Chains A and B, each alone.
Chain A
Amino acid sequence: MKKKKRNGLELTYHLMMLPGLLFLIIFSYIPMVGIIMAFQDFVPAKGLFHSDFVGLKYFRYMLGLNDIWEVLRNTVAIALGKIFIGTFMAIAFSILLNEISIKLMKKGVQTIVYLPHFLSWVVLASVVVNIFSLDGIVNRILGSFGIQALNFLGNPAIFPKLIVATDVWKEFGYNSVIYLAAITAIDPGLHEAAAIDGAGWFKRVIHVTIPGMLPIILLMAAMSLTGILSAGFDQIYNLYSPIVYETGDVLDTYVYRIGLVGRQYSFGAAVGLLRSLVGLVLLVSANKLTMKLTDEKIF
């Protein structure tokens, strides 16, 4: 009798899983099977099962191409820039914000700095283009100091820096939330003790606040390292142009342009597979690293 009831319960559980599972299989697992097109001369008309297998042809082609190394280098450079500068800014901002004791001002600033995070890059790209165009506000300000106008969006040397800077601008507020929570969790007794010992504000930040935040900082850093191959499609797609491909083109935009727009499906799938595999390795190692550094797991 008891067993029957248990089986009934389990059946209900399976049925509850079913709808989600259908979506999981169709939209996550079937595309994984679709990866075999990376090993084929895939022709949509022939389909996945009748296209000719070509083995590693596209992988060899990819590795022989200068493009891929350039794109890989751009991706990692931009992603690392965003991670390091973004984390630094978020931490610094949270420490400064914590010093603000006028409640209204604190709330007001928080309301403003969290906002860009919730806006789409489509919207923000218009903002960025407006401000950084040759006769935009930034160049007008530079001009008033006698600095010659910079072509932020069209100069390959500046473009990746602009990408990093505008991403940091969009996200530092939102990212500071978790650090702010970490700061408020630090025992105020530690600050008092340090102050009695004669430590000034800056010293207390270095020796009390930052060590107190360290577990969260390490956890967030390890997690963000997993994103090292996704430098932000939405942002770059909406801001780049052929003149800055040499420094601004990243894996996702490359796959989109060559694979989808250029209809080199097999090649695009091969690059995509490489990206997913490296991403997988990174995520698993980041998880191991996090477990070692803190007691937490990413997944």
Chain B
Amino acid sequence: MYCSSTLSKTRNVIIYMIVLLLGLICLLPLWNIVCISLSSSAAVSANSVGFLPVDMTFIAYRKIIEDNQFWRSFGISALRVAIAWVLNTVLVVLMAYPLTRSKSEFRGRNFYMGLLIFAMLFNGGMIPSYMLVKKLGLLNSIWALILPGALPIFNVIMVMNFFKGIPKSLEEAAVIDGAGPMTVLLHVLVPCAKPCIATISLFSIVGSWNDFFSGLIYIQKPENYPIMTYIQSLNVDIQEMLKSGATNATLSSVAELSNKNLNAAKIVVAVIPLLMIYPFLQKFLITGIVMGSVKE
């Protein structure tokens, strides 16, 4: 190592620079949207906003406060996240426990497991699922966003594996004290599995908040759009034009472009709930991935 110290120093400098550069590449595009939302419409139309707000103004955010449809969609998504989270967690935890039993303790255990795994491997596809939701009369209702994804099978297996890793003696002690399966589950296993349940909760919350596809196919009334479908519907017109080769400059005559900073502000506000839980997401990221890679 003696003669290579200058070499290793140069190497380190290069590595630090590459890592910083990758960090910047991830950050700057997102920061650009924040800057656009804080710039005046004129500056946005002139396409002069880079990584600092130009003619900084909060007018876009002030406009959002009065935008009823935005808050309606925001509320629909918040409600959906709450219901889906409770439903997912209850169903997953309830199902995971019996599946930790052995085949002799719970005849039918392997049959149920087979049903779950097959449903994970194979599905009916988009069209039959749409037809089912339509037939059930759920179109345009918040339940169309919640019920089809109420049982995340992958999470059942994850929680089941976590339960299996909890020392049997804890459970046996409770059983000797006369506890039934529900008591064991709620008072022994669930408290031990808090990090695991936190992880699947975060998956559920992020997934529901970010999902725009269910809203796209199941909700036909724009006033019932969840937040991401609403934002997507805002993006559509202007993006269509940009993609077909129009430049921001030629678009500046279009009235919609003046909304560009407004739309950017809407995007920023729609992402704020995720940023609020982001510290927790990071905390449970490793747990989630490690658990996810330990399969049955």
Contacts and interface: CB of A to CB of B under 8 A. Distances in A.
Interface of A: 9-10, 12-14, 16-17, 19-21, 23-24, 26-35, 37, 44, 48, 93, 96-97, 99-100, 105, 108-116, 118-123, 125-131, 133-137, 151, 153-154, 169, 172-174, 177-178, 181, 195, 200-201, 216, 219, 233-234, 238-241, 243-244, 252, 255-256, 259-260, 265, 268-269, 272-273, 275-277, 279-280, 283-284, 296-299
Contact of A129 (B121, B212, B242, B296): B242
B29 A259 contact: no
A181 B289 contact: yes
A14 B107 CA distance: 10
A24 B147 contact: no
B165 interface: no
B68 interface: no
B66 to A, nearest CB: 22
A113 B235 CA distance: 25
A275 B123 CA distance: 10
A245 to B, nearest CB: 12
Contact of A12 (B107, B124, B180, B264): B180
Contact of B128 (A35, A108, A126): A35
Interface of B: 1, 4, 7-8, 11-12, 15-16, 18-20, 22-23, 25-27, 29-30, 32-33, 36, 47, 50, 90-92, 94-95, 97-98, 101, 105-109, 112, 115-117, 119-132, 134, 147-151, 153, 156-157, 180-182, 185, 206, 209-213, 217, 228-229, 231-232, 235, 239-240, 242-249, 263-264, 267, 270-271, 274, 278, 281-282, 285-286, 289-290, 293, 295-296
A260 B94 contact: no
Contacts of B105: 9-10
Contacts of A133: 242, 247-248
Contacts of B229: 122
28 contacts: A10-B108, A12-B180, A19-B95, A24-B151, A27-B129, A31-B129, A99-B15, A112-B23, A114-B281, A115-B278, A116-B30, A118-B278, A120-B210, A122-B228, A123-B228, A123-B231, A125-B239, A126-B264, A137-B50, A153-B243, A172-B22, A200-B7, A216-B293, A239-B243, A241-B243, A269-B128, A296-B295, A299-B157
Q: Nearest 3 pairs between A and B by C-beta?
A: A31-B124, A272-B125, A34-B128
B8 A299 contact: no
Contact of A32 (B97, B106, B124, B285): B124
Contacts of A21: 95, 112, 115
Contacts, number: 290
B200 to A, nearest CB: 13
Contacts of A35: 124-125, 128
Given A134-B247, A241-B244, A115 B127 contact: no
Given A113-B23, A137-B50, A153-B242, A23 B278 contact: no
Contacts of B228: 120, 122-123
B122 A20 contact: no
Given A23-B150, A135-B47, A108 B295 contact: no
Q: Which one of A21, A131, A133, A178 has the highest number of Cβ atoms from chain B below 10 Å of its Cβ? A: A133
A177 B285 contact: yes
Contact of B296 (A109, A127, A260, A299): A299
Contacts of B150: 23, 27
B247 A135 contact: yes
A127 B29 contact: yes
Contacts of B182: 12, 16
A31 B128 contact: yes
A20 B151 contact: yes
